[in-house]
Structure 1
Amino acid sequence: MKLAIFGATGATGRHLVEQAVQAGHEVTALARTASSLPGAHIVIGNLNQAEAMQSVVQGADVVISVLGMRSGDPAPVCSNGMQSILQAMNATGTQRLIALSAYGALESAQDSTFIRLIRKVIARKMRDKDAMEVLVRHSGMRWTLVRPPMLSNGAQTGRYRVGTDLQPGCTSKLSRADLAAFILQEAVSGQFTGQAPVVSA
């Protein structure tokens, strides 16, 4: 399978690239420099460069965004990045999309008092996820939105729960390695196409 990955040099992205390459998939990723992502084909560029974006997406079976906003980022990375990704997908005729969101986005914002509090603490990041989800849902693509709770740098365990009605508690976490494993599984199976599953340990 040919995978186009955006956010590949981030904490989750590196796990995703590593697992995809180990599984025998062909990976193309966007990076600002020739970063160390063994086994992946790197396209040098950024999210604002249409030609580079299309080079990453061209011929992909599945486009995966694991973009995330870091503290101090001046712009809403997920929603702005998704606009560029969707433009590249439309230009190349690519249809299958998986995007990393977060538990607490859009309608899940009212699931619990804890989630409402979290949305206040990281309000800017959650507004970015909300806006990204709206873009994806109205894109006309065959999409899946992945909603994990708090992420950790723990080991890959293979032990996690998935469901569109799952409501993780305030202590729920998921390792980035397990998150990557689920995203890769969804890329292959397409089980949750048109849905926004929550993934939690």
Structure 2
Amino acid sequence: MRLVLFGATGRVGKDVLKLALADGHEVTAFVRSAARLPQSLSGNRMLKIHQGDVLNKSDVEDVMSGGYDLVFSALSTDKSSTLSKGVPHIINAMYKHGINRFISIGTAGILQARSAPALYRFQSSESRRKSTAAAEEHLAVYKSLEKSTLDWIIFCPTYLPDGEATGNVIYELDKLPENVKKISVGNTAQFSYSQMFNDSFTRHRIGIGETE
């Protein structure tokens, strides 16, 4: 498999990168700074590095021209409009180059609220965050994908502390599983990576958390 990975230097992205390379897949990491990639991966023949800016349309189109099976985005909000402005460039480049599968890491805030299904969690009493800026950025991604014809999945973790993969993950389509409080970076990366081609997840937001 050949894939493009956006956000490869972030917490979840680094773990996804390691998993894909360990499985022998060819990964092109789209990064602003190659220096932030794990040194342990230096020299891996299955890793290609493409430096660019997701906010630059031509940079995104250039990386997509290599012929890929899948695009994986672990981009963060960067406390800016990176997602809402950058992901449309990715979607358009995927159309142009005939790539149909898009996997993204989102946030539990954009799942439907269990207590008020007409609302997103970040709009409801289920969210304790004072700022909605990050959730609104992720919501823009969801709405862009929903309007697209791509086969997409958005994995939506709740509170995301550092930690290794343990496998004790529970999930629910479009809602956050009940009584979950957190999910580690390792579990988020491993679960989303392992479920990239789960057709029952296609065109859904997947709420994920850990069992106690």
With the shorter chain as reference, the TM-score category is: 0.7 to 0.9
When residues 189 and 56 of structure 1 are mapped into structure 2, their CA distance, relative to the original with a 3 A threshold, is: farther
8 A Cα contact 1:105 1:130, kept in partner: yes
8 A Cα contact 1:156 1:175, kept in partner: yes
2:73 — aligned with what? Answer: 65
**Distance (Å, rounded) in 1 between the aligned partners of 2:24 and 2:178:** 32
User: For 1:196, which of 183, 187, 205 is the aligned residue?
Assistant: 205
1:106 is displaced (CA, Å) by 5.5
Residue type of the alignment partner of 1:26: E
Residue type of the alignment partner of 2:110: A
Q: What are the Cα deviations for residues 126-158 of structure 1, in whole angstroms up to 9, with x where unaligned?
A: 111111110011111011111110101111111
1:179 — aligned with what? Answer: 188
2:161 — aligned with what? Answer: 152
**Distance (Å, rounded) in 2 between the aligned partners of 1:93 and 1:155:** 35
8 A Cα contact 1:143 1:195, kept in partner: yes
Question: Secondary structure of the equivalent of 2:160?
Answer: strand
Identity of aligned residues (%): 26
**Distance (Å, rounded) in 1 between the aligned partners of 2:190 and 2:111:** 24
Question: Secondary structure of the equivalent of 1:155?
Answer: coil
Q: What TM-score results when the alignment is normalised by the length of structure 1?
A: 0.88
Q: What are the Cα deviations for residues 143-185 of structure 1, in whole angstroms up to 9, with x where unaligned?
A: 111111010111111111122144344x611111111111211
Within a 5 Å distance, the mapping from 1:1-201 to structure 2 comes to 1-35=1-35, 36-37=37-38, 38=41, 39=44, 40-58=47-65, 59-70=67-78, 73=79, 75-105=80-110, 107-108=112-113, 109-110=120-121, 113-115=125-127, 117-118=128-129, 121-164=130-173, 165-169=175-179, 172-201=181-210
**Distance (Å, rounded) in 2 between the aligned partners of 1:132 and 1:52:** 19
Q: What TM-score results when the alignment is normalised by the length of structure 2?
A: 0.83
8 A Cα contact 2:88 2:144, kept in partner: yes
Q: What are the Cα deviations for residues 84-133 of structure 1, in whole angstroms up to 9, with x where unaligned?
A: 11121122111111111111216332496232x32xx1311111111111
8 A Cα contact 1:98 1:187, kept in partner: yes
1:48 is displaced (CA, Å) by 2.8
8 A Cα contact 2:157 2:188, kept in partner: yes
Structure 1: gaps (5+ residues) = none
Q: What are the Cα deviations for residues 35-57 of structure 1, in whole angstroms up to 9, with x where unaligned?
A: 33523211111113333313333
Question: Secondary structure of the equivalent of 1:167?
Answer: coil
Please give the root-mean-square deviation of Cα atoms over the aligned residues, in Å: 1.9
Structure 2: gaps (5+ residues) = 114-119
Q: How many residues of Structure 1 are paired with residues of Structure 2 in the alignment?
A: 194
